[in-house]
Structure 1
Amino acid sequence: MYCLNFLEWEELKLSYNFKQEEIENIIKHFGKEFYEKVLRDIEVYTEKWSLTSFQFIPSYSANIVFTCHSETFGNVVLKIGNPNAREVFTEFNTLIEYDGRRFCTVFDADIENGVIVEEWIKPGIPLRNENSLEKRLFVFSSLYNDLHITPAKSEIYPTYMEWVDKITAYMSQQKDCTELYVYMRHAQEICHSLSSVYSQKMLLHGDFHHDNILLGKDGKYKIIDPKGVVGDPIFDVPRFILNEFGDDITPELHEKINGIITFFEKSLDIPNDIIRKCLFVETAMGICWCVEDGSTPDEYPSLVKTVAFAEAMLNH
């Protein structure tokens, strides 16, 4: 086994010194107990996977993320998450099932402790940085077509319909945002209708958008950060479109989204009206997740405006 000498340990200890602001953000988002877990995990997995050259990625989303170098695997991404979160388990298993086909490779994990080590895509430029809309749509289409597989054990993943039903049930209890609940109920009805016709049980990414599509050194894009959810492939399209909305709902946006839907109708061979329905379902669910994640009542009018725009797109 590779052993670190004293100087290497001293260098590593320095690289682990979180800035005070980063410590506060970790504790704010995850709690003090989780921050202490991260410190313990860094020590454990540095030895386990011979890790050096840590760089902290301050995303504060589902995991604490580092890029680093492994004597065993090369350039890697280390993710430290909540061992009780199902997402760690489903991400790991999704990457195992796809086995590097258009996705990043997963090298190892300690799922019981919520830790994954996977391929670091370099240079890792997100598709969001591509200025050409047509190029972005072409890249997504090329990754999406013929991507999806039947999971070996579908029962270990949530279903897309379960996602929709769960957030609808949550919104039914939120008395201060009934307008959003009405939109979510409409989306739930549409999703049930879609699922009765588009009923394949394939392994979906679940969050298939620009920032999870990274440029590799071979000039090809790879997919990262799958949620791991079972459903028809049509439900893996709308999150990408939703991420083309931007900050403001404008007449120009209506024209842009219509163009994207027309492009995908041809490139993905999915009927125009089906894409529109999927987009409304995904938008309503995403907006309601914002409420679940702590959006304040002051933000509700903006959230309503976004989901109302997606509903209006149902009628072109």
Structure 2
Amino acid sequence: MAPDRDIIRGHVPLEPPERLLRTVGAWEGEAGRDWLKALPGLVEEYLARWELTPERVQHPGGHISMVVLVRQADGTPAALKVGMVTSQTREEHAALAHWSGLGAVRLLRDDPAGSAMLLERLHADVSLRSLPDAKAMLEACGVLRRLWVAPAEGHPFASVADHTCRLAEHLRERREQPWAADARPLADEALAALERLTESAPAAPVLLHGDFHHGNVLAGDRMPWLAIDPKPLVGDPGFDLAWLAQDRLDTLVAMPAPQAAARRRIATLADALDVDRDRLRDWTLFRAVEAGLWSLSVGDREDGELALEFAAWL
């Protein structure tokens, strides 16, 4: 006999957080809205299947996933994550399994077909954003050193080369839109930077997080800081570091001479992780411009303009 849903839920509301409703609806269109309608039932299914007792839904939660803090059958705390399957999130479970808790949240159980994962419980309200910028960058570099390992033979992860080829196609399309007219010179610079990067590849590609920033590194009990929410790829470490380089742009904007501060940040991060400075500058330029035009395309003018301003400083 199927378990009573009210017992499984413990009367905990399992409604998707507002941010999830907003972002999935805006980013994924009709498919996203259909997934959101089915999400509460899907969460209940995994609570029952894995014998989990919910405590509360994590707010604000992820942009394309819902996280429920739970207790396992033996009382151990954990987190149930149910996310929308996309090309970027499809292999998240595989990356976490490969890292096996070294530098990243530990995967306890998963169902890749449903994009459901049971994860160790971290301190969700304490990320690297709680630290001063310089200290946060230092800790972030320590986490990346653990994550950048060789992938297993026959791994399922997409390459940075293939991923950025698709990003470049989208960037060219957005470059032609009327609203992107002022950004076309920057878009051309970004595409030229990518061309330079693809002319030579790193000798030993590694497994990358893909979306590494301060908000995706949480405090843990087993280790001080652990990464969450990877969008894994295999390739040049500079691709990962470029996303970190543009973290906390509001902090950079508030600094005296932000252009010089941005260049110093690139140099400091490159030296800390033995990444070529010029390659990191090119990766950062490409990722900032691509992200900026994407943000403008989905109506996020504030973040889009800030990313493009940062790119211009480089």
Q: How would you bin the TM-score normalised by the shorter chain?
A: 0.7 to 0.9
In 1, are the aligned partners of 2:24 and 2:64 still within 8 Å (CA)? Answer: no
1:149-202 residue CA offsets vs partner (Å, 9 max, x unmatched): 222256632222333322322233332224435433432331232243343322
In 2, are the aligned partners of 1:49 and 1:72 still within 8 Å (CA)? Answer: no
C-alpha displacement of 1:239: 0.9
In 1, are the aligned partners of 2:20 and 2:61 still within 8 Å (CA)? Answer: no
- 2:161 paired residue number: 161
C-alpha displacement of 1:234: 1.8
Q: 1:184 aligns with which of 187, 196, 213?
A: 187
C-alpha displacement of 1:101: 1.0
One-letter code of the match for 1:12?
Answer: R
- 1:283 paired to 2:288: yes
* Superposition pairs of residues 110-121 of structure 1, within 5 angstroms: 110-121=111-122
Structure 2 Cα separation of the partners of residues 13 and 225 of structure 1: 27
- 1:15 paired residue number: 12
Flag structure 1 segments of 5+ consecutive residues without an equivalent: none
In 1, are the aligned partners of 2:20 and 2:63 still within 8 Å (CA)? Answer: no
- 1:68 paired residue number: 70
Structure 1 Cα separation of the partners of residues 56 and 258 of structure 2: 37
Q: 1:77 aligns with which of 76, 79, 83?
A: 79
Structure-2 change in CA distance of 1:267 and 1:17 (3 Å): closer
* Superposition pairs of residues 117-266 of structure 1, within 5 angstroms: 117-122=118-123, 125-131=126-132, 133-145=133-145, 147-152=147-152, 156-174=156-174, 175-176=177-178, 177-199=180-202, 200-218=204-222, 220-246=224-250, 249=253, 251-266=256-271
Structure-2 change in CA distance of 1:70 and 1:267 (3 Å): same
Structure 2 Cα separation of the partners of residues 290 and 19 of structure 1: 23
One-letter code of the match for 2:161?
Answer: M
Q: 2:279 aligns with which of 270, 274, 280?
A: 274
C-alpha displacement of 1:12: 2.0
Matched residues, percent identical? 18
Structure-2 change in CA distance of 1:235 and 1:218 (3 Å): same
Range moving further from structure 2, 237-246 or 68-77: 68-77
- 2:308 paired residue number: 307
One-letter code of the match for 1:211?
Answer: G
3-state secondary structure, aligned to 1:156: coil
Structure-2 change in CA distance of 1:155 and 1:18 (3 Å): closer
One-letter code of the match for 1:75?
Answer: P
Structure-2 change in CA distance of 1:9 and 1:168 (3 Å): same
1:46-74 residue CA offsets vs partner (Å, 9 max, x unmatched): 12111113321233512122222222683
- 1:295 paired residue number: 299
Structure 2 Cα separation of the partners of residues 307 and 22 of structure 1: 24
In 1, are the aligned partners of 2:20 and 2:66 still within 8 Å (CA)? Answer: no
In 1, are the aligned partners of 2:147 and 2:208 still within 8 Å (CA)? Answer: no
Structure-2 change in CA distance of 1:269 and 1:88 (3 Å): closer
Structure 2 Cα separation of the partners of residues 159 and 273 of structure 1: 21
**TM-score if structure 1 supplies the norm length?**
0.82
Structure-2 change in CA distance of 1:253 and 1:191 (3 Å): same
RMSD of equivalent CA atoms: 3.2
One-letter code of the match for 1:167?
Answer: L
C-alpha displacement of 1:241: 1.6
C-alpha displacement of 1:104: 0.8
Flag structure 2 segments of 5+ consecutive residues without an equivalent: none
Range moving further from structure 2, 274-283 or 98-107: 274-283
